Every structure is written in structure tokens, then in C-alpha cells.
């Protein structure tokens, strides 16, 4: 049995590989996204790794834990 827990990922989400590929394919150096959770966190991390600027627009009801990680 292989256990793949998302808690072992840098961002705590399996979305990282997908978002990293997405960010890598975008030719602009600045990316703007709207998110209420893990997607924004993962995209900010991917942009940081690839040297791109990232703006994440969050709803007012966003969890403070997620907001602090972005």
C-alpha cells in the first residue's frame, strides 16, 4: 500500500503539480487569480518558484490560515 498524503506537500495540496505546469505555460510574468483556498496558495507558491509575480484575490470570508500562507 502506498499512502500519498497531501499533508506532505509543500502547500498541503495535490494541486501543486497541475498548477506548476499551468504557471509554467503562461508567458506573462504577472499572474492574477481569484481563489478562496488552496488553489491561490498553490499558485502563489508556483509563481515564487518560477520567478513570476502573483496576485491572489480572496473573498472576505477566506480562512485566515490560508490567507497567511499566500
Residue 24: the pLDDT is 93
CATH number attached to the domain at 9-69: 3.40.50.1100
Residue 29: the pLDDT is 93
Residue 10: the pLDDT is 63
Q: Which residues of 31-42 are buried (b: 16+ CB within 10 A; e: fewer)?
A: bebebebbbbbb
Residue 49: the pLDDT is 93
Q: How far apart are CA 67 and CA 65, in angstroms?
A: 6
Residues of the chain with pLDDT under 70: 1-14
Q: How far apart are CA 53 and CA 45, in angstroms?
A: 10
- The answer to whether residues 19 and 43 touch, using CB atoms and an 8 Å cutoff, is yes
Amino acid at each position: 500500500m502506498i499512502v500519498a498524503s497531501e499533508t506532505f506537500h509543500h502547500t498541503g495540496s495535490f494541486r501543486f503539480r497541475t498548477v506548476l505546469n499551468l504557471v509554467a505555460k503562461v508567458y506573462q510574468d504577472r499572474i492574477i487569480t481569484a481563489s478562496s483556498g488552496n488553489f491561490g496558495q498553490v499558485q502563489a507558491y508556483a509563481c515564487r518558484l518560477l520567478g513570476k509575480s502573483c496576485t491572489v484575490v480572496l473573498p472576505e470570508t477566506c480562512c485566515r490560515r490560508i490567507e497567511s500562507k499566500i
